Amino acid sequence: MHELIELLKSDMKPALGVTEPGAIAFAVSTACSYLSGEVESIELRLNSGIYKNAFTCGIPSSPHLGNLYAAALGAIAADPSMGLECLSSVTPDDNKAAEKMIADGRITVLLSEISSRIHIEVVARCGDEYAEVIIWDSHTNITCIKHNGEIVEGSDSPAYDRSEPAEPPIIHKYTLQDFVNLVNEVSFDDIAFIKDAYTVNLHLYDVAMASDRTTFAKSLYKNNGNKTISDNAVDTASLLCNAAIEARVLGLDAPAMSITGSGAHGIIATLPLYGYCKIHNIEDEKLIRATALSYLVCTYIKEYSGKLSAFCGCAIAAGSGMASALVYLDGGDTEAMFRCLNNMASSITGMICDGGNHGCVMKGISAVDTAFRSKDFAMAGICIENLHGINGSTPEETMRNMGLIASPGMVKTEETILDIMKSKIQS
């Protein structure tokens, strides 16, 4: 199997709710599993991306939001063996216990650093006993577990933890043309696993439409003529995509299929393509090949921006992947995809990320609208030329520049967003 396909296969994972609360609960529950008694206190240290994304994010099977409740329910109800779906068995009694745990002041959440690198540290205590868990770089990548100060798994070496990766990401060895060649030539059996993304994400859409908590989903359905699939490709794509995003950020009880560690990225990179193919009677194999391209472009940009940053990777990285895949489905070549990427780069690159919350729906709506317009212009030979703004002389340069706007470009923006969030706590 090609190394890029292996990369996608290992990266594509179901995630219940927004990924960051799931990651927090996973880390806390792992630490608590090493204690011989009931946890008495928890201290969390989170990098800015994790802190921000989970700040007012819905939690599966719970009416509550945010970092504190993700940690409390991680301690009380999470099953660490379930990874990012560890909160799938939360009960009403668990929610009451979490409320008491927080009211008693037994959980502390601290901001560790302004960084686009995923970083979670947990210390869980029971009397004189304590357990520590450290996660770096991906939401379930535990690099160290300690029990009463003794390392039982991994390493807490600062040289490993805090250094930037020495080697460039695998995906940056390749070009957009390489991606197109790969998705055209790869055996369908090797990418058939991508079908699982549609099974998972379409179920999440169904959950959104059945819920009395979703509001945008119902409005988008009405805009689409009270149909899931209408003759309007943009309205259909926006409905499928953003109903699923709304379900996810509200914490409804169904997972999304994540890519680059994000369920919303996975939704935006897939569901608009599904709607487009249904309207235009494009066969499933072409859809799956287009989805592989969407994932690859998204991942290429994200490896520059970092997993969590101050810009909306869902709209920008996943949206650019989806837009490139729309060009592919329309029969466009790599030059048309380059034009499309330049149109995307010149439009929504500055969109901020202020956490995983209901606002993600509006960002998803903007991403779908912009992707379709960028594709249509590109297919007509129209684009923002290379000399303008952050556009590059190659598609790889444009994607790189989009990522650099986030990291290091928007570090101060991240600080400002966090200052605003912290002021809400104080008030």
**Percent of the chain predicted with pLDDT > 90:** 85
Query: Is the pLDDT assigned to residue 63 strictly greater than 80?
Result: yes
Does one domain contain both 27 and 130? yes
The tokens describing 410, both together, are: 């928007």
Boundary of a domain, candidates 161, 184, 213: 161
Answer yes or no: is 8 within a domain: no
Whole-number Å distance between alpha carbons of 102 and 408: 35
Does one domain contain both 177 and 140? no
Whole-number Å distance between alpha carbons of 13 and 194: 11
Does one domain contain both 229 and 96? no
Residue 161's pLDDT band, with cuts at 50, 70 and 90, is very low
Contact 355, 56 (CB under 8 A): yes
Give residues with Cβ within 8 angstroms of 377, minimum separation 6. 339, 340, 343, 383
Residue 347's pLDDT band, with cuts at 50, 70 and 90, is very high
Does one domain contain both 148 and 195? no
* SS3 of residue 13 by DSSP: strand
The pLDDT value recorded for residue 116 is 80
Q: Rounded mean pLDDT of the chain?
A: 94
Does one domain contain both 128 and 180? no
The pLDDT value recorded for residue 165 is 54
The pLDDT value recorded for residue 152 is 95
Does one domain contain both 148 and 175? no
Does one domain contain both 122 and 215? no
* pLDDT tens for each residue of 374-422: 999 999 999 999 999 999 999 999 999 999 999 888 989 999 999 999 8
Does one domain contain both 154 and 177? no
Does one domain contain both 235 and 320? yes
Range of the domain at 93: 16-161
The pLDDT value recorded for residue 237 is 98
Domain count, the chain: 2
Boundary of a domain, candidates 161, 183, 210: 161
The pLDDT value recorded for residue 272 is 98
Answer yes or no: is 3 within a domain: no
Q: Which residue has the higher pLDDT, 168 or 340?
A: 340
Does one domain contain both 262 and 338? yes
Boundary of a domain, candidates 135, 161, 187: 161
CATH code of the domain in which 239 resides: 1.10.4100
Determine how β-strand 41-47 pairs with β-strand 119-126: antiparallel
* pLDDT tens for each residue of 300-328: 999 999 888 889 999 999 999 999 999 99
Does one domain contain both 122 and 176? no
Does one domain contain both 157 and 176? no
Contact 140, 82 (CB under 8 A): no
Answer yes or no: is 10 within a domain: no
The pLDDT value recorded for residue 155 is 87
* pLDDT tens for each residue of 111-131: 999 988 899 999 999 999 999
Query: Is the pLDDT assigned to residue 254 strictly greater than 50?
Result: yes
Query: Is the pLDDT assigned to residue 50 strictly greater than 60?
Result: yes
Residue with tokens 């179920």: 203
- pTM for the whole structure: 0.89
